[in-house]
Structure 1
Amino acid sequence: MKIHLPANKLLLSAALAATLLLNPLAASVHAAPTAAAATSYETEYGVFLKDKYNIAIKENSTLTRGDLIDYVAALLPKATAESTAKFSDLNQGDPLFAKAALLYDNGILNGPAVAAKQPLTNLAAILIALRASDLKELAYSYPEAKANAALTKAGIPLSVLDLKTKQELAAAIDTGLLPKSYQEKLVLSKPASSQLVQVLLGKIATFQGNYKHYLGLVSDADIYTKIQDAYHTSNIIQIPNLQNIVDTALKQNVVTGYNLKDSRYDSNFVEALSITYGHSDLKHIIQLIGLLRSEYLDAKVQLEPKTSAFIHLKEWGEPYESETAKVVQIENGNYITYAKEFDLKFEFHTVADKEKFQGIILKYAKKNEKDQKGLIAGSWWQPLYYSLTKLDDYKLIANNKIVDGHYYAQSFSLPEKAAEVKEGFAKVDPSIKVESYTFWVDVPFFNYLNGESL
């Protein structure tokens, strides 16, 4: 799993605060929330590419074929075997050679010439994006009449195009790789704009499954159904090899608890705009979505299944086992409880919206006294929500993480305890690699880690 450390996010966060000014649910305090008018393709994809791949394309810049090769290579899985690519105008000592070879090996470039210094045309950009999106077989299934119909509808002249090019362009249009707004008045021989290139790169990431993963928006009419479906189809996560290590650490008091997660559910959101909110109660989350709507705060939403493990002391009595909790007795008579939980990941439209989230939670979803009225169902004394980028009035803590394929175990601690936790894991299994990094959490949960009640 790729970890984006907070230190790398501070400049991006500041830039977003200054540039992303949309708040779709704040248009009127009297109007009901409607589907969000999200930021433009260019802005949203541009922020994502910078955040995840460090690709920053200057607005209205003149791009070359070599520039696009460089960008597309960053989106592709790295080569596992030595390339046999040879180019007539690029030698192996050229910095671009390995990237061009990667595209060649993936059937994106044909060679023998790369023409890296030539201006990037609309046609070349679209064809490269189509192939990088793994849509070639679909394209080549088009009969010529079907391809011609798609191009004619888009207003693209047919006379100078060969069949293969027409097929690829038609597939780019029909699949949405080339959005409708970019089809209008498209001149294939003209230089590709920086805006179009950003969109095509974002679409490549989408077709490869590497863009954001989410159920929908807070403002979507069907978001409640999607959240419930995601919750009901998730199960307690069990990973025997990994659990053996973290359970031993739990028994030895190296950690007081841990989470198990599956990176295939990770949202891949832009962290400068995101908050992660942990809970176990589906009713609470449904009401939380309604609460955010009532406060005119919109966001993308992803449910990431999670299993939390902790020690249940024998003096507490027999633990309760259910569909959402599994219990295993350990050698000293205590139990390890594995509870089905989840992280709800929100990506807000602006940093300002992200900052508003805490005030809503503290007012409506933070328990301060027994039988407190005016809170949504299932509110906790110590709610858990956090950010990988710095926020005022949040506290710094550490995550200690062990990865096993697409599964991972993580345990939160105070920053000064991270080295001790890492050493404890190493004593359990010297071969494991523990990744530790810091992030920002709400004060009540920070107090909980300090042994305080509120």
Structure 2
Amino acid sequence: MNKGRTIKQAAAGAVLLTALAVTAGTQVYAAPASTSSLAVQATAVQTSAPQPTSVKDAAAYITKRYGITLSGTITKQQFEKALETLLASSSIAVNSDGANHSFFPKGSTSNKLLAWEAISASVKAADLKELAHTYSDEKISVAWDAAGLTYKAGEGIAKEAAQEVAVAFDTGFLSAKDLSGIKLEANVSAELAYQLLNKVAEFHGEQQNFLGTISDDDIFGKLVQAWNESQLIRTEELQKTVDEGLKQNLITGYNLKDTQFDPHFDPARTITYGHSDIVHAVQLVGLLRSEGIAAKVQLEPKTSAFVYLKEWGEPVQTDDYQVVPIDNGNHIAYAKEYDLSLEFATVEEKEKFQPLVLKYAKRNQEDMTGLLKSSWWQPLYYSLTKLDEYPVITNNVLKKGRYLAQTFTLNEDSAKVVSGLKKINPSASVETYQFWVDQPFYNYLKGDYK
């Protein structure tokens, strides 16, 4: 920990602002004193806002997330390949016929793709086929009528396909508004294909994952609820490696995260902001809202681990802060924190974020006023795409299942950290990538508490 972070001693109510001799180039993570059993996993409730509401957003998401690029009139081959690509990334196996998923009826020789065929294939890819095939003729008619269409048994498309189209209407794949100007027998456009692919992703839990938007009146309550329902993250296999790294002074801190809370935002429009006080997040979102900035909001639970020095006194443990003694008399502390991910409406609005933080959420002296609650000396926020005036650092990441452990370093120190972690655990796979971080945090990695 350094002078830029505070530890709240629950018993004494005192705030310690303690300078730490930082291992050169390696991140220290400090947090408020709080935790309980480390066996607890992150369980924050996600009240996701609706999937991207525009065709443009759906297309951007599918392209960025899966690398699927479509244009013009779409063929069966193109759509089938897109579905296969999407499902290869899904954690849920699609329940369909045959090794090749049989998205289209057997014996189909034409490569022309009609709207009803694309809808039918999407329903199968979303694991809704069995539900669809429970639909009676009457139930099909009701669903079609609600979408402004007429179904007559024995006429037009086969009953199984009609059932699948009906389920698409009932489960929100398509609405009457979506079908406006589109005939079931019409060729499939890229816009419709993206819309259907987006819904397939959603039904496999691969959709964008966020609480809401800055403009939502209930966003503040959702933020606090998500924080209250999150707990310390534990992943024993990962922690064995990085905790040993702490003991050996290879690193001075790391974060644990649960990738199920990844928002899957567009990196070009996203900034991730780390902190430990939920009131700070509420005030930051309020600040952005008061400035007329639009963004999607996601709270990602995070556990911060760092060395708690014995000279800091006896640590007080709570549900959100736990310490474990190590041989030299120090402790490893595990503290509940969060990453606030913000996907801005435009890159230009993303660029407005830093000036607001530096003015209202960056402490430059002890008795400074006019700041958001619990503002740090070195606020931590970063972008996965280039931003002017943001230095570049390296993230060193270990993954196991849905969990990851990460430690930030200066670029020149990454190789040493990776080598050291591999020496501790030869079977560990350590991924590295560079990203753009705010200047105060970069200074922090260099050993400057201001």
TM category (shorter chain) comes to: 0.7 to 0.9
Distance 1:103 1:179, change over 3 A: farther
Alignment pair present for 1:255 and 2:219: no
**d(CA) in 1 for partners of 2:248, 2:411:** 20
Alignment pair present for 1:361 and 2:357: yes
Gapped regions of structure 1 (runs ≥ 5): 1-35, 81-101
Residue among 67, 74, 78 paired with 1:67? 78
Residue among 368, 386, 410 paired with 1:372? 368
Distance 1:127 1:268, change over 3 A: same
**d(CA) in 1 for partners of 2:146, 2:429:** 55
Contact 1:148 1:166 in 2 (8 A): no
Residue among 78, 84, 106 paired with 1:112? 106
**Matching residue of 1:181:** 177
Distance 1:174 1:44, change over 3 A: same
**Matching residue of 1:19:** none
Q: CA deviation at 1:153?
A: 2.7
Q: CA deviation at 1:157?
A: 3.0
Equivalent AA in structure 2 for residue 135 of structure 1 = L
Distance 1:37 1:227, change over 3 A: closer
**d(CA) in 2 for partners of 1:127, 1:38:** 20
TM-score for both structures, normalised by structure 1? 0.83
**d(CA) in 2 for partners of 1:241, 1:75:** 30
**Matching residue of 2:60:** 47
Residue among 186, 196, 212 paired with 1:190? 186
Residue among 81, 84, 88 paired with 1:77? 88
**Matching residue of 2:417:** 421
**Matching residue of 1:280:** 276
TM-score for both structures, normalised by structure 2? 0.84
After TM superposition, the structure 1 = structure 2 runs for residues 27-426 of structure 1, keeping only pairs within 5 Å, are: 41-58=54-71, 61-77=72-88, 104-105=98-99, 107-109=101-103, 111-115=105-109, 118-159=111-152, 160-426=156-422
Q: CA deviation at 1:162?
A: 3.6
**d(CA) in 2 for partners of 1:209, 1:40:** 17
RMSD between aligned alpha carbons? 2.2
Contact 1:155 1:185 in 2 (8 A): no
SS of corresponding position for 1:211: coil
**d(CA) in 2 for partners of 1:337, 1:399:** 21
What are the Cα deviations for residues 116-155 of structure 1, in whole angstroms up to 9, with x where unaligned? x522111111111111111122222222212101212322
**d(CA) in 1 for partners of 2:338, 2:101:** 40
Q: CA deviation at 1:56?
A: 1.4
SS of corresponding position for 2:352: helix
**d(CA) in 2 for partners of 1:103, 1:199:** 24
Distance 1:288 1:106, change over 3 A: farther
Equivalent AA in structure 1 for residue 262 of structure 2 = D
SS of corresponding position for 2:124: helix
**d(CA) in 1 for partners of 2:285, 2:215:** 9
Q: CA deviation at 1:448?
A: 0.1
SS of corresponding position for 2:88: coil
Q: Paired residues, what number?
A: 396
**d(CA) in 2 for partners of 1:197, 1:223:** 31
Distance 1:40 1:236, change over 3 A: closer
Q: CA deviation at 1:184?
A: 2.2
Question: 296-305 or 409-418, which moves further after superposition?
Answer: 296-305
**Matching residue of 1:3:** none
For CA contacts below 8 A with separation 6 or more, give which structure has more relative contact order: 2
What are the Cα deviations for residues 80-138 of structure 1, in whole angstroms up to 9, with x where unaligned? 9xxxxxxxxxxxxxxxxxxxxx98437542553353x5221111111111111111222
Contact 1:311 1:334 in 2 (8 A): yes
Equivalent AA in structure 2 for residue 392 of structure 1 = D
> Which consecutive aligned stretches of 4+ in structure 1 deviate over 6 angstroms post-superposition?
36-39
**d(CA) in 2 for partners of 1:227, 1:37:** 17
**d(CA) in 2 for partners of 1:143, 1:114:** 25
Contact 2:80 2:103 in 1 (8 A): no
Distance 1:204 1:354, change over 3 A: same
SS of corresponding position for 1:181: coil
**d(CA) in 2 for partners of 1:67, 1:429:** 43
Distance 1:213 1:38, change over 3 A: closer
Contact 2:256 2:302 in 1 (8 A): yes
Q: CA deviation at 1:207?
A: 1.1
Contact 1:155 1:184 in 2 (8 A): no
Distance 1:37 1:318, change over 3 A: closer
**Matching residue of 1:448:** 444
Question: 295-304 or 149-158, which moves further after superposition?
Answer: 149-158
Distance 1:231 1:108, change over 3 A: farther
What are the Cα deviations for residues 326-363 of structure 1, in whole angstroms up to 9, with x where unaligned? 01111000111111001111111111111111111111
Distance 1:237 1:370, change over 3 A: same
**d(CA) in 2 for partners of 1:237, 1:273:** 28
What are the Cα deviations for residues 302-323 of structure 1, in whole angstroms up to 9, with x where unaligned? 1111100111111222223222
Equivalent AA in structure 2 for residue 120 of structure 1 = L
Distance 1:78 1:43, change over 3 A: closer
**d(CA) in 1 for partners of 2:315, 2:145:** 68
Contact 2:308 2:332 in 1 (8 A): yes
Identity, % of aligned pairs? 45
**d(CA) in 1 for partners of 2:210, 2:108:** 37
